[in-house]
Structure 1
Amino acid sequence: MASQRALFTATRTQTLTYLLAVCPFSIAFLVYINSSISFVVTELIGLHHGEGDAVGTLGFADELLALAACPLWGVLSDRIGVRHVCVAGYSIIAVALVLFVQAKNVYPQLLLGRLLFSIGGSAVSTMVTAVLPTVTGRTSEDESLETENESSPRSESAADKSTPSSRLAGFVGMCAGCGALVSLIVFLPLPAQFQKLGLSPSTSIQYSYYVVAAMALLVSVWCLFGLRNLPGEENKAWNSLWSTEEDAGTLCDDGPSCAVRGKSRLPYLDQLSTAMVLGFRHSDIFIGYMGGFVARASSVGISLFIPLFVNHYYRAQGFCGDNQNRESGSSPGDIKQSCPDAYKLASILTGVSQLIALMTAPMFGYLSDRSRQHHLPLLFACLAGVIGYLAFPLLPSPKFNGEDGNPAVFAVMSLVGISQIGAIVCSLAVLSNGILSVNVHQEIPKQALGPEIEVQINDNDSEQPETEQQPLLTTPTTQKQQRLSHLKGSIAGVYSLFGGAGILLLTKLGGLLFDVLSPGAPFYIMAGFNGILLTAGIVGALVRRSKKFYASEIA
């Protein structure tokens, strides 16, 4: 029975490495470089005019490169394994952090350093998604039991089977949030600590980057040993980069069927195109992609546009004293120096949203596991996002005290935090469950299977001629045991691609409309994103319900 199955197919060491190394530090290093880059530009490079434009350009270049790098890392992980990609990603981050503080100018040296960091960062962020189905996938014993249960026409659907992916996704979101706290509490105060030892500000920043780089290298070594022998990753190595589909037979001992079980050597374009096509053929994977889009956009909405909105409000009301004559569209990084009250309020509001997100992450994981068929937790998170993002710019004031203050802003920030973490956790859970439940025979394009596997499926079909007693909806036994594990990296890459697109779209469109239309425009856009995902989730649930009803009528 499902209750008797092991919670994870991975060992305790592998699971802890994933939760305590891969998940938190994929966020921690990104938060650190985003938060400290302005100090590198001003203290190390010596640029004191136009630093906001330089920081924005570097961030935009980072996301633009990540759009291409994430799918490529995902495809590579299907060849060489998620462990090697994690090791390479954190090693590249370590090198990039060291080179970053050697730059003498913004262009091209600092830009090249940021692009190198983007390559490493995209690798580890993609692996957060790719490792999840590996850690929580089914064992061969579970698959045999599942096949036996599916032989009964009354057996439950794949969407209803209990898998630990949803539950673990909640802890993934919580650990990722803790990674941001590690950066804010441990990494960012390092320059101040070095300055207390008598070092200059520029030297303190350099030493801080060296310490964080050493931490990235340690995490890389941790992944090297902690992720060894992951289930389904045994035959993946660096030499697999040059193997092809024709070589699959020499790489496996179990015949052509091993290609389905995670050891195929498909052409790179076939892997990527299959991951894209699956988004249109499988509702769970499509919802996962859309959830990734909304989740990453939410992170920008909270970390960038809430401080910018507060800054604009304080300047428009004349609360910034002598600095109110500055442009209202100045970089959020300037708020701390030019308008400390706005900075404090923005920190409180974003802190409340992130605290609520951390507290509710495990709950969303648990609820996602209890409602995998209709994705009710994800729909609730989207509804919270629609309400929260619409309400925030409509408040008379973002302040929670004083003459114009309203404590209701905390309730709005709670809804925003719930929306963000719900999108992160539920999209990961839905995507992982989709990977583990895809019908290979019906939903994967033929080029992703290969001729040998197609022949095997057809042979199994021919061996079992149809009879009057045979159920109309039955499928071959071999087909039922096939999983999508050999494409999990490619799917994770496309998931990250959608997330990067969400960041770029909200950043550019939201920033433009903030200046020319209304300071509330980015939040209205985020409400629209959540509304679209909410509509897609409802339509998907209705379609699945109608299919299930139609299948029961035929049976």
Structure 2
Amino acid sequence: MARVKLRPDAAGERIGPFWITPGWTRLNAATVWAASFLTIGLAAFISFVQPYLLTEVLQLPDAVQGRLTGSLGALQEIIVICSASFFGVWSDRSGRRRVYYLGFLAMAAGFAIYPLADSVAELVLFRCVFALGIAMAPLMLSACVVDAIQEVSRGRWIASNTLLQGLGVVTMSVLLAKMPAWFELRGVPPASAIRYAFWMAAALALLAAAVVATGLPRLAPRNIRGAGRGAWRLVAQALGLARRNPSLGIAYGAAFIGRGDFTIVGVFFSLWLVQAGRDAGMSSAEALATAGKLFGLMQGAAMLWAPVMGMVVDRLRRLDVLCLALAIAGVAYLAMGQVTRPFDASFIPFALLLGIGEMSVIVAAGALLGQEAPQENRGPVIGFYNAVGGVGILFATFVGGQVFDGIGRTAPFSLMGLLNLVLLAAALLVRLRAARSARTVPSCN
């Protein structure tokens, strides 16, 4: 099929190669860039530094930290899944700006009270406050990225925002993860050091709220479709399309795997390294700072690999690319599951490969979805794709926590490695069946 030549709407403003949606200004678009940098990094911060909080403030034994970490992550995702539809409809009616800055305010409140918890019950309660912010802010980021740009510039626009999101995650993990150690060196007790780090994150969330409140447009989205459809009807429609097109079903499975892969790294990587660091005689602050450096290295490899994977996606069949991505991720996560000395120099290649595998599945899954989702049914398909991704996060956090405590600190990585290979086998089966069907179709002369 020939590629359709898209033309920009001259009524919209322009920033370099980016054509902005009419009604949006350059300031509005620049605000989305700033929000991309801040939103995902702040969202990832709480899980990354939580091991320090569990050890130094609540003084919980290592044997229960994995299950608690997984349960807290699962609780957050349940709240997100249950409330996202409400916040989405609200933003369609009142505009993205209001819901976005309220989301950042909820995150700021969560950051402020989370390190003040004196018990697990309080920790759970305070995590619910933060979860409401997570249900709003990242959802609004996705909506703003879609709303702000014309179709002619969409690919480059999404790539630029994805890069900024990755930079935000690296910055938060590297810089804020060092804050407890920085405070301890200046004589601050460990329990106070982690509180100060959380309150710095709260200040950044307040800054982000001010940025989106002043920089985003006050208009409400136009041409809202799908109003009045029941959720179960949309699910049935999305599943029916997958039954008729197995490649779309593989894309759904890749959403589960891709979100699960990312969650395992974000939730259990720092917990593993903080516990291993204490076993090696390091303080929690030193271990967390080292985990931040290695996490930054991992995500840096993922960001550098993203454009390479994008070029591969444009040159090969999408299902073939996903098979390659699942193979890389499966090997990477299984290899990480065998690591016993995460602070040795030999660990660096494993971290780099893990970042590459994580990004490969994310890029390939999105590309396959874009190819297989019918134009007239993209709403239900994309909605179900995101829902399956949410289930993947829920699975990774809860089950990952169980195997972390029950089997070993690297067991969550081995689990995701096996699941990547299971989906790879299913994808290869779909590909072989499609090839066999193509050979048996009689040619028409």
The TM-score normalised by the length of structure 2 is: 0.75
Contact 1:288 1:431 (C-alpha < 8 Å) held by counterparts: yes
Amino acid at match of 1:417: G
Q: Does 1:417 align with 2:355?
A: yes
CA distance in 1, matches of 2:301, 2:20: 31
Gaps of 5+ in 1: 140-162, 236-257, 309-330, 402-406, 441-483
Contact 1:41 1:106 (C-alpha < 8 Å) held by counterparts: no
CA distance in 1, matches of 2:74, 2:216: 28
Match of 1:145 in 2: none
Q: Does 1:95 align with 2:109?
A: yes
Of the candidates 507, 512, 526, which is equivalent to residue 406 of structure 2?
512
Identity within the alignment, %: 20
* Deviation by residue 1:145-200 (Cα, 9 ceiling, x = unmatched): xxxxxxxxxxxxxxxxxx944x5555454333322222133323344555677765
Amino acid at match of 2:375: V
Match of 1:210 in 2: 199
Deviation at 1:278, TM superposition (A): 5.2
Deviation at 1:77, TM superposition (A): 1.4
Match of 1:219 in 2: 208
Contact 1:88 1:220 (C-alpha < 8 Å) held by counterparts: yes
Q: Does 1:495 align with 2:396?
A: no
Contact 2:31 2:211 (C-alpha < 8 Å) held by counterparts: yes
Change in Cα spacing, 1:211 to 1:536, as seen in structure 2 (3 Å) is: same
Match of 2:11 in 1: none
Stretch deviating more after TM superposition (272-281 or 493-502) = 272-281
Match of 1:337 in 2: 278
Of the candidates 378, 402, 414, which is equivalent to residue 322 of structure 2?
378
Contact 2:55 2:61 (C-alpha < 8 Å) held by counterparts: no
Contact 2:254 2:361 (C-alpha < 8 Å) held by counterparts: yes
Deviation at 1:18, TM superposition (A): 4.0
Change in Cα spacing, 1:137 to 1:215, as seen in structure 2 (3 Å) is: same
Match of 1:266 in 2: 229
Match of 2:49 in 1: 36
Change in Cα spacing, 1:388 to 1:211, as seen in structure 2 (3 Å) is: closer
CA distance in 1, matches of 2:263, 2:385: 23
Contact 2:113 2:126 (C-alpha < 8 Å) held by counterparts: yes
Match of 2:313 in 1: 368
Match of 1:175 in 2: 164
Match of 1:472 in 2: none
For residue 188 of structure 1, give the secondary structure of its aligned residue in structure 2: helix
Contact 1:91 1:220 (C-alpha < 8 Å) held by counterparts: yes
Change in Cα spacing, 1:397 to 1:116, as seen in structure 2 (3 Å) is: closer
Report 1:56-71 matches (<5 A): 56-70=67-81
Deviation at 1:4, TM superposition (A): 4.6
CA distance in 2, matches of 1:509, 1:198: 37
CA distance in 2, matches of 1:130, 1:276: 24
Change in Cα spacing, 1:339 to 1:347, as seen in structure 2 (3 Å) is: farther
CA distance in 2, matches of 1:395, 1:204: 30
Amino acid at match of 1:528: L
Deviation at 1:550, TM superposition (A): 8.6
Contact 2:44 2:266 (C-alpha < 8 Å) held by counterparts: no
Stretch deviating more after TM superposition (73-82 or 209-218) = 73-82
Greater Rg over alpha carbons, structure: 1
Change in Cα spacing, 1:345 to 1:29, as seen in structure 2 (3 Å) is: closer
Change in Cα spacing, 1:302 to 1:101, as seen in structure 2 (3 Å) is: closer
Contact 2:147 2:221 (C-alpha < 8 Å) held by counterparts: no
Change in Cα spacing, 1:394 to 1:41, as seen in structure 2 (3 Å) is: closer
Gaps of 5+ in 2: 9-17
CA distance in 1, matches of 2:27, 2:441: 43
Report 1:25-424 matches (<5 A): 25-41=38-54, 43=56, 45=57, 47-50=58-61, 53=64, 56-70=67-81, 72-74=83-85, 76-78=87-89, 80-81=91-92, 83=96, 85-103=99-117, 105-127=118-140, 133-134=146-147, 138=151, 164-165=154-155, 170-191=159-180, 201-228=190-217, 234-235=221-222, 262=225, 264-271=227-234, 274=237, 280=243, 285-302=248-265, 332-340=273-281, 352-371=297-316, 373-392=317-336, 410-424=348-362
CA distance in 1, matches of 2:410, 2:191: 37
CA distance in 1, matches of 2:215, 2:238: 28
Amino acid at match of 1:535: A
Contact 1:173 1:424 (C-alpha < 8 Å) held by counterparts: no
CA distance in 2, matches of 1:540, 1:136: 35
Amino acid at match of 2:300: L
Contact 1:78 1:488 (C-alpha < 8 Å) held by counterparts: no
Amino acid at match of 2:109: V
Deviation at 1:411, TM superposition (A): 4.4
Change in Cα spacing, 1:376 to 1:75, as seen in structure 2 (3 Å) is: farther
CA distance in 1, matches of 2:200, 2:227: 40
Change in Cα spacing, 1:287 to 1:89, as seen in structure 2 (3 Å) is: farther
Deviation at 1:383, TM superposition (A): 1.5
Contact 2:79 2:135 (C-alpha < 8 Å) held by counterparts: no
* Number of residues of Structure 1 aligned to a counterpart in Structure 2: 424
